[in-house]
Amino acid sequence: MQQNGSQILFRALQEEQVDTLFGYPGGCVMDIYDELSRQEIRHILVRHEQGAIHAADGYARASGRVGVCLVTSGPGATNTVTGIANAYMDSIPVVVLTGQVPTAMIGNDGFQEVDITGITRTCTKHNFLVRRIDELHRTIREAFQIARSGRPGPVLVDLPKDVIQSVLEMDGPPALAAAGKEPAADLDAPCGEALTLLAAARQPLILVGGGVILGKASAPLRSFARAVQIPVVSTLMGLGAFPASDPLWCGMLGMHGAYAANMAVSHCDLLVAVGVRFDDRATSKVEAFAPHARIVHIDIDPVSIDRIVRADLPIVSHCVPALETLRKLAADRRPPRAKQLGAWRTRIRQWKAEMPLAYSRTDHIKPQYVVEKLHQLTGGRAIVATEVGQNQMWAAQFYRFDEPNSLITSGGLGTMGFGLPAAIGAQVACPDRLVVDVAGDGSLQMNIQELGTIAHYGLPVKVVILNNLYLGMIRQWQELFYGRRYSQCDMPQSPDFVKLAEAYGIRGLRAVKPAEVKRVLKEGLETPGPVVMDFHVEPEENVFPMVKPGTPLTQMNFGAVRAVA
């Protein structure tokens, strides 16, 4: 049976059980879009290619599956680069399909030609330029294997127009190399050594990162932590891996972390780090990070071991088998240390009581209050996407995440404009879940055109804007570190977001007083379909606590409320 390149492409996507493409058509992918009209696969037409890659990213984060986007050559491909880098930094499995000029024209500066494989070589896990139709099927299948295996990441496949138009005789399924099955590591010895260290520790702590969520290891993590009754802290990307409602939970650590979490890391004598890469926003001054602790580092990526923080005991493994082995061995050993751990947990409870996350109340709407009420009204069960900046940190601090895959945020790259299209991807992946984008007025405007996508497909995404008419985090740093010399951070001419929402056919609501917050949130969350809620918050509110870059985690600034050194 003869099939052209477009048909072979969709055949491979069907074999990978892809149900959704996020994309935008153009000249070099016209044949693919023509074939799409005869396929059952769902396509979400975004309003900008950056929206396509961020939506595929959000789909992957919410579903745990590979997200896929399809764009044309030239500017269509280059518009995805920021999103590809974003997925690469956060280890998100996405496959990016880009159009390309015919193979004979490559290198001749043809219309809408760019070397997208060259451009993305440093921000993809791997990329391909398909030069022959007989390579197409295998390449697509291999791209998915690479994207989701080991440490996940983005893979780009560049598709020249003549390859897509070519025809190939296909009698049966093309041969596909078996997925490289990683040999199962013998974990008994290193995990046994970890438990020996644990038995000797008086103040042990578990640090979890995004690798626990990506590795679908939340259940074994919870089982292990509860079995050994060790307190848990998390990075931003690890929020939801361990329930914020659990008594063992200490909070998020780092630059804007909780006092109890930062103090626990700084005073522990054993740190079991699972699925983390020790980002600078989590560690701050590396030389002062966990200064009294021996460190057990569990991660699938050997490159992450000893890269920033030296591990006393490295365990290169997927999180699930490592945590399950630890749990099994712990059950066999049952180390008698309840009394000493009880004293450690009591100390952490005291830190929580002494310095909880707090903010002062005024006649203005406080952004923290909006997030607190959002958590209360949703019961903590929403999928929360965020933009980047102050809004992101307030969401991380005051929306208490109990489940994995519930926080969709740009961690490593800090990409403004991420939240709205990522919320689209999350809503498509989880149509029965409530999806909320917590946004700042600055970041939202970077991809605000995706309101058109939400309206087009009637996606019931709720957008909560913490509107302070500033680039808030820039203003905060200029206040704290640049003598309040505000430079190019105010945005007084932001649009009327309610009118803008209505222009797209979306319900718009506004709150300007604290007494209006609960009513607007309740009405917005209960309204069917998409809603934009505009909260006019305290313009110069800061995110506290804050650790100045390059200083120890114990040196926390609590602002006007209080400060700890």
- Distance between CA 164 and CA 98 in Å, rounded? 11
CA dihedral over 60, 63, 65, 68, signed as positive or negative: negative
**Pairing relationship of beta strands 546-547 and 67-71 according to DSSP bridges:** unpaired
Does 473 qualify as catalytic in the annotation? yes
Considering 16, 35, 49, 450, which one is annotated as catalytic? 49
In sequence order, the 6+-apart residues with CB closer than 8 A to the CB of 32 are: 6, 9, 70, 97, 99, 159, 164
In this structure, are residues 42 and 19 in contact, taking their beta carbons and an 8 Å threshold? yes
Backbone angles phi, psi at 194, to 5 degrees: -60, -40
CA distance 413 to 33: 31
Per-position DSSP letters for 83-132, written without gaps between them: HHHHHHHTT--EEEEEEE--GGGTTTT-TT---HHHHTTTTSSEEEE--S
371 three-state secondary structure: helix
Q: Which amino acid type is present at position 374?
A: L
Residue 237's contacts (CB-CB under 8 Å, 6 or more residues apart) are 90, 209, 210, 213, 409, 411, 412
Closest to 299 (Cα-Cα) out of 323, 270, 274? 274
Candidates 10, 16, 144, 161; catalytic one: 161
161 catalytic residue (yes or no): yes
Residue 159, SS3 per DSSP: strand
Q: Give me the catalytic one of 112, 145, 165, 555.
A: 112
Please report, as a single letter, which amino acid is at residue 91.
S
Pick the catalytic residue from 255, 473, 533, 556.
473
**Considering 111, 182, 513, 540, which one is annotated as catalytic?**
111
Give 419's strand partners.
none
Report in angstroms the alpha-carbon separations of 20 from 87, 231, 326, 383.
18, 40, 38, 19
Contact between 535 and 367 (Cβ < 8 Å): yes
User: How far apart, in Å, are the Cα atoms of 552 and each of 253, 266, 436?
Assistant: 12, 9, 34
- Which residues are tagged catalytic? 49, 111-112, 161, 473
